[in-house]
């Protein structure tokens, strides 16, 4: 019989930990929360200091029974849920359900699932931290008061199945505000002049800077003609040269938010997928002879702090692999988010010596990709800065000035391992400039004016929205992925080309919340509420006080909304087509993956069809059908013949309706990082890319 019982959340975690602790310990999983507020009612007694009424979660009875039996047989029970608010609350609920003393040393926390970390944590058990529990309870009760009061109102006045919440409603607001910015955006014309120059055999690029030593903006073609009219010849004199040495520091280790952003940029992972794969890496992977090992530290964190042990290990690895020069010499002061919790470390590998290559055979494709990203990012964060030699030169033709700049990597430092991605996907590489000195004469090969228009702000990608929520202090590492999932499930927003677009339903619901519950979507109010929850966690303020202050105003607004909110009927837009099954009109519906056609006679008729979008190109295979845009179940666009299944033509790239002048095969639009390029599917023919 085991002397000690250890309870964790997941079976994978239980399996890993049991191996480390030995025969005296039995490790069981609670499968997440065992108690929660009931789904069928509010479950919060507003009149009795907001006392929550917890019940055993449906289906958790057998799990709890098993845990109770095991607890009776054990000398001591340890609660080892995750090291955050949610984990502390799970431990507290378990203690209540199993009649354990919350003030006894029953709580064990660890930031990584490795043998040393686990053994060390069991030497230092502690009581349950009630401040952490209260912070989680306050968040849960707040969300319940908002959700269970506003959602039924929306069901009554708009349609069934809708919801509102402190974080999700702000996220929808950000997406809609951005859409309105785009709609009201008025493009402004501007011009640039690019020049190609030659010195000896070397060619380099420079751009128009200004006139008479002053920087000048070109707003029209007339401005350009004035400048080109001032150019006397193709000879330009180098009037000044500046050389600088520039240091570039590595990015810090990942937080939950920066991991989600970078995995979106570099791996094309959705936030939900990133968190699921990170969970697997954290809980443990079977490494054959080594057994099951947790490969990364806890993945819900907003801290970039790293333990001294991990730093020492990284230094040793860097020294062995790259040499002394690549070691980070001075300790960098990381900018700490105002609302960041520093309870645990940034996300890093549990051992730097487990490099991605050595683990490839034990990991799935997605696990390998994410582990490699985390490993490289951490490794780079502990390495020396990169040193770039930068050079800028001013070229003069009379009073007209052009500027050329270039850079060369003098010492790669951390860039040898990893370079952070950017949202606009611009690759940063070396820009070559020949050796230039003051007084040198260079010749212009071409001077090309180019018209541009200012662009509206981009729609939010998942990564950009997570970044914005974090910067505004809204939500917590654990809330980003579920929030993005919820607003799509409710049909408030849809993803088009990986960017969020609001739906009509989203706009209606937001308008109602804006009118009757403005504080719910007020960015500052929501961020301040997060700070209040942090203060509860730090033991500075009682949780009931925070809830009470919020509820007084909220209750008044609720009563007003009950009487004044008008019923809104959302009429489905007709498509102009009739249902081929029952003859009723077909209407546009909004689903999780965007718009589709459905029969208006639902539920009696369940006919649905995708929206067919013609692109004006005849099928290159059969010559009879038309090419239409289609979508996969995962919302990826592809192109096919409308005569399918008679004709099975299909292409990921958009056909352009012209034949290749070189070989006569099909030309397609190929999406590249820097724009779109028309190229042949058969030979090497390419046309200049369009941004």
- The residues carrying an active-site annotation are 298
**Are residues 387 and 410 in contact, defined by beta-carbon separation less than 8 angstroms?**
yes
Residue in the structure block whose two tokens are 């009554």: 156
CA contacts within 13 A on the Cβ side of 260: 32
Quote the tokens at residue 510. 């937001």
Three-state secondary-structure class, residue 156: helix
Helices in 74-129 by DSSP H: which ranges? 85-97, 115-121
> Rounded distance, CA 13 to CA 83, Å?
13
Torsion of CA 525, 528, 532, 533, to 10 degrees: 80
456 alpha-carbon distance from chain centroid: 21
> Rounded distance, CA 8 to CA 14, Å?
6
Residue in the structure block whose two tokens are 């990564």: 463
Quote the tokens at residue 50. 């907001």
**Are residues 452 and 190 in contact, defined by beta-carbon separation less than 8 angstroms?**
yes
**Are residues 309 and 120 in contact, defined by beta-carbon separation less than 8 angstroms?**
no
CA contacts within 13 A on the Cβ side of 174: 29
Helices and strands, counts by H and E, the chain: 17, 29
DSSP notation for 238-275: EEEEEEEEEEEPPPPPB-HHHHHHHHHHHH---HHHHH
- Supply angle C-alpha 682, 683, 685, rounded to 5: 125
Three-state secondary-structure class, residue 320: helix
How would you classify residue 125: left for phi > 0, otherwise alpha for psi between -120 and 50, otherwise beta?
beta
**Are residues 405 and 392 in contact, defined by beta-carbon separation less than 8 angstroms?**
yes
Sheet holding 650-651, edge to edge: 613-618, 626-631, 637-641, 650-651
Mapping DSSP onto H, E and C, the string for 322-367 reads CCHHHECCCCCCCCCCCCCCCCCCCECECCCCCCHHHHHHHCCHHH
> Rounded distance, CA 207 to CA 194, Å?
5
> Rounded distance, CA 231 to CA 245, Å?
33
- Supply angle C-alpha 237, 240, 246, rounded to 5: 135
CA contacts within 13 A on the Cβ side of 99: 6
73 alpha-carbon distance from chain centroid: 45
Q: Judging by DSSP bridges, how do beta strands 650-651 and 44-45 pair with one another?
A: unpaired
> Rounded distance, CA 151 to CA 508, Å?
14
**Are residues 385 and 414 in contact, defined by beta-carbon separation less than 8 angstroms?**
yes
Helices in 44-165 by DSSP H: which ranges? 61-73, 85-97, 115-121, 130-157
> Rounded distance, CA 42 to CA 39, Å?
8
Count Cβ neighbours within 10 Å for each residue of 595-615 and write b for 16 or more, e otherwise: bebbbbbeeeeeeeeeeeeee
């Amino acid at each position: 019989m085991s002397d000690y019982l250890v309870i964790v959340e997941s079976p994978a975690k239980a399996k890993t930990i049991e191996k480390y602790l030995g025969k005296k310990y039995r490790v069981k999983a609670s499968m997440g929360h065992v108690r929660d507020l009931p789904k069928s009612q509010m479950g919060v007694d507003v009149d009795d200091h907001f006392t929550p009424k917890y019940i055993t979660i449906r289906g958790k009875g057998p799990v709890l029974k098993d845990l109770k039996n095991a607890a009776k047989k054990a000398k001591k029970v340890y609660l080892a849920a995750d090291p955050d608010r949610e984990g502390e609350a799970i431990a507290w609920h378990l203690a209540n359900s199993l009649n354990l003393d919350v003030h006894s040393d029953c709580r064990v926390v660890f930031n990584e699932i490795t043998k040393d970390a686990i053994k060390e944590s069991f030497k230092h058990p502690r009581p349950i931290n009630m401040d952490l529990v209260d912070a989680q309870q306050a968040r849960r009760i707040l969300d319940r008061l908002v959700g269970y009061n506003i959602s039924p109102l929306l069901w009554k006045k708009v349609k069934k199945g809708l919801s509102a919440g402190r974080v999700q409603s702000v996220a929808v607001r950000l997406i809609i505000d951005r859409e309105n910015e785009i709609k009201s955006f008025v493009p402004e014309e501007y011009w640039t002049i690019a020049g190609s120059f030659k010195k000896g055999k070397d060619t380099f690029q420079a751009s128009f800077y200004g006139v008479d030593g002053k920087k000048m903006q070109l707003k029209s073609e007339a401005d350009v003609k004035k400048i080109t009219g001032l150019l006397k010849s193709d000879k330009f004199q180098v009037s000044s040269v500046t050389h600088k040495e520039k240091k570039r520091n590595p990015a810090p280790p990942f937080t939950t938010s920066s991991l989600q952003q970078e995995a979106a940029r570099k791996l094309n992972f959705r936030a939900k997928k990133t968190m699921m794969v990170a969970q697997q890496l954290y809980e443990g992977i079977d490494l054959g002879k080594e057994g099951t090992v947790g490969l990364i530290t806890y993945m819900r964190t907003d801290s970039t702090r790293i333990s001294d042990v991990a730093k020492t290990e990284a230094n040793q690895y860097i020294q062995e692999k790259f040499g002394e020069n690549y070691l980070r010499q001075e300790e960098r002061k990381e900018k700490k988010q105002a609302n960041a919790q520093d309870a645990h470390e940034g996300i890093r590998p549990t051992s730097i010596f487990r490099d991605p290559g050595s683990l490839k055979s034990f990991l799935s494709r997605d696990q390998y990709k994410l582990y490699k990203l985390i490993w490289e990012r951490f490794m780079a964060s502990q390495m020396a800065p990169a040193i770039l030699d930068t050079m800028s030169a001013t070229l003069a033709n009379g009073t007209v000035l052009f500027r050329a700049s270039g850079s060369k990597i003098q010492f790669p430092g951390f860039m040898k391992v990893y370079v952070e991605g950017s949202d606009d996907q611009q690759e940063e590489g070396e820009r070559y400039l020949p050796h230039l000195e003051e007084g040198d004469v260079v010749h212009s090969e071409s001077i090309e004016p180019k018209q541009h228009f200012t662009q509206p702000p981009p729609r939010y990608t998942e990564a950009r929205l997570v970044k914005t929520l974090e910067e505004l202090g809204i939500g917590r590492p654990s809330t980003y992925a579920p929030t993005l999932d919820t607003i799509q499930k409710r049909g408030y927003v849809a993803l088009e080309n990986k960017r969020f677009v609001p739906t009509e339903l989203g706009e209606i619901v937001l308008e109602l919340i804006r009118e009757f519950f403005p504080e719910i979507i007020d960015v500052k109010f929501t961020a301040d509420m997060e700070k209040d929850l942090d203060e509860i966690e730090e033991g500075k303020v009682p949780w009931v006080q925070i809830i009470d202050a919020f509820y007084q105003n909220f209750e008044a607004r609720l009563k007003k909304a009950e009487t004044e909110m008008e019923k809104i009927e959302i009429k489905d837009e007709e498509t102009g087509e009739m249902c081929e099954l029952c003859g009723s009109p077909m209407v546009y519906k909004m689903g999780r993956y965007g718009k589709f056609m459905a029969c208006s006679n639902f539920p009696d008729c369940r006919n649905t069809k995708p929206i067919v979008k013609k692109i004006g190109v005849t099928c290159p295979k059969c010559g009879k059908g038309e090419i239409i845009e289609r979508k996969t179940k995962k919302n990826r666009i592809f192109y096919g013949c409308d005569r399918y299944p008679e004709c099975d033509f299909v292409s990921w790239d958009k056909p352009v309706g012209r034949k290749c002048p070189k070989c006569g095969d099909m030309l397609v639009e190929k999406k590249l990082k820097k724009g779109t390029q028309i190229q042949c599917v058969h030979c090497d023919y390419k046309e200049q890319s369009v941004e």
